[in-house]
Structure 1
Amino acid sequence: MNEELTLIKQSIQGDDTAFLHVMKAYKMDLYKTAIAYLKNEHEALEAIQEVTFRAYKKIHTLREPSYMKTWLIRIMINYCNDQLKRKKRFIVNDEQIYSLGTTDNHTVIEIQDAMQQLDNTSREILTLMYFHGLKIKEIAEVMERPEGTVKTWLNKALKKFRDILEEKGGELDV
């Protein structure tokens, strides 16, 4: 962790090599976020390139090196939301379904469908919490909201998610 923080600090100071190492370290997290939102591998890879460019241009504005991951994910989420607004469509293909690492494809499809029925805020909170393993405090930082607000939104999102799954006859325990 100390080496990672050192690289981040060097990145903030303009060290291009350190920046590349940091981006490699967070590439999978950014990819998972992009796939969760865009549902298309090509668009997700394009998103990583764009977010890398945006982060490179603005790295000097990052005040707290320990928030690098949440800062990058926030940039990715904003980019993905912009793309979705432009396209107003969602694409799901077999490769993405298998990439989630489960053998029950029907369950994965139900989860993805339920996630798409949620509003953007609920989908964002659940993605950060369960796909990225962020804690309430980190989600609050990413979303630039108080922790209490994030907790309230999380509870509402989980309730809505459960309701959607129950309507479909799902037996998932979330």
Structure 2
Amino acid sequence: MSTPLNVQQAQQGDREAFVRLIRAYEANMYAFSRTMLSSDEDCADAIQETILLAYRSITTLRELAYFKTWLFRILIHECSRIRKNKAKHQLLASDINNHPEKTLAYEAIDIQDAVQRLEPSIRIVIQLYYFEDLTVKQIAEMIDIREGTVKSRLHRARTLLGEYLTDSEKEIEYETC
């Protein structure tokens, strides 16, 4: 997607090169931000701030090959900032957000729905590993945790996803009987 040449050109002030870099990742940025934030408006805010911060600080990027990792690290921090601010200013809209396990028995879910039900620290790791194709090492560097922690979160997420999907299959069987 991004090439070191495009990154280098962007670092030298080429706005079009920067735009090409962002366009290469805009869909991935939205999909990722959607796993952390509940509204399109919040996702748009996080992405906008990420782009602005990236543009202002692209000259600080030392390893051109790590542009995607660097960009997503900024996005993670922006999504976290928005979530923290929202948590300070408003209560959760529904009991479903507080207790997703209550809703699992009542509806069939697909993999994306199951991923959305994971707690944020586990959901981030799943999103980066499976949907952004990052390695365990890249994820560990990106979110400042040890590789072993990434592996344990992946294991925990797989276990929970298996339980969620199994529960939804059982519900479907009961409904068809």
Q: Under a length normalisation based on structure 1, what TM-score does the superposition of the two structures give? A: 0.74
- Matches of 1:16 and 1:127 in 2, distance apart? 29
Q: Work out the CA distance in 1 between the residues paired with 2:27 and 2:158.
A: 25
Q: Which residue of structure 2 aligns with residue 107 of structure 1?
A: 109
Cα 1:90–1:16, aligned 2, differ >3 Å: closer, same or farther? farther
Question: What is the CA deviation profile of residues 22-54 of structure 1, one whole-angstrom value per residue up to 9, with x for unaligned ones?
Answer: 111111111111222223223322322111001
Match of 2:152 in 1: 152
Give the CA deviation at 1:90.
Answer: 7.3
Aligned partner of 2:23 in structure 1 is 24
Distance in 1 (CA, whole Å) between partners of 2:169 and 2:141 is 33
CA distance in structure 2 between the aligned counterparts of 1:36 and 1:83, rounded to whole angstroms: 13
User: Structure 1 stretch 68-77 or stretch 150-159: which is displaced more?
Assistant: 150-159
Give, in angstroms, the shift of residue 123 of structure 1.
1.1
- Superposition TM-score, scaled by structure 2 size: 0.73
Map 1:73-152 onto structure 2 (within 5 A).
Answer: 73-88=72-87, 89=92, 106-108=108-110, 111-112=112-113, 114-152=114-152
Query: Where in structure 2 are there 5+ consecutive unaligned residues?
Result: 95-106, 171-177
Partner in structure 2 of residue 96 of structure 1 = none
Match of 1:161 in 2: 161
1:46 is the counterpart of 2:45: yes
Q: How far apart are 1:121 and its partner, in Å? A: 1.6
Distance 1:144 1:122, change over 3 A: same
Give the conservation status (yes or no) of the 8 Å contact 2:35–2:116: no
Displacement of 1:55 in angstroms is 0.7
Task: Give the CA deviation at 1:7.
Answer: 0.7
Report Cα offsets for 1:126-160 as digits up to 9, x if no partner. Answer: 11112222222321221233333321221122223
Deviation at 1:165, TM superposition (A): 4.1
Question: Which runs of no fewer than 5 residues in structure 1 stay unpaired?
Answer: 92-104
AA in 2 matched with 1:158: R
Alignment root-mean-square deviation, CA: 2.6
- Give the length in aligned residue pairs: 154
In the alignment, structure 1 residue 35 sits paired with structure 2 residue 37: no
Q: Take 2:23 and 2:112, find their aligned partners in 1: how far apart are those partners?
A: 29
Give the C-alpha shift of residue 4 in structure 1: 1.7
Task: Calculate percent identity across the aligned residue pairs.
Answer: 34
Greater shift, 120-129 or 156-165, is seen at: 156-165
SS in 2 for 1:107: coil
Q: Which one has a bigger Cα radius of gyration?
A: 2
C-alpha distance 15-26 of structure 1, shift in aligned 2 (>3 A) = same
